[in-house]
């Protein structure tokens, strides 16, 4: 994710294709686990960035 930040999104199927492109020779199970991890990580990062401004508004 650090090397290709614009390649991954919150869409699992797109991430699965990107992981398949970047990691030739992995099994389907490993590819899906990696794509799932990336999808979940990006989703949580986006959710946290949406929550933080709300918290700052409540503090002010």
CA 20 to chain centre: 15
- Between CA 54 and CA 36 the distance in angstroms is 28
Give me the half-sphere count of Cα atoms (radius 13 Å) on the Cβ side of residue 50.
6
Q: What's this model's pTM, rounded to 2 decimal places?
A: 0.76
Distance, in Å, from the CA atom of 54 to the CA atom of 56, rounded to the nearest integer, reads 5
- Between residues 52 and 3, which one has the greater pLDDT? 3
Question: 12-28 pLDDT, tens per residue?
Answer: 999 999 999 999 888 99
């Amino acid at each position: 994710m650090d090397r290709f930040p614009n390649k991954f999104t919150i869409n699992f199927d797109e991430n699965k294709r990107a992981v398949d492109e970047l990691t030739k020779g992995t099994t389907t199970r490993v590819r899906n686990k990696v794509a799932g991890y990336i999808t979940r990580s990006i989703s949580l990062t986006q959710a946290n960035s949406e929550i933080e401004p709300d918290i700052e508004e409540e503090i002010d």
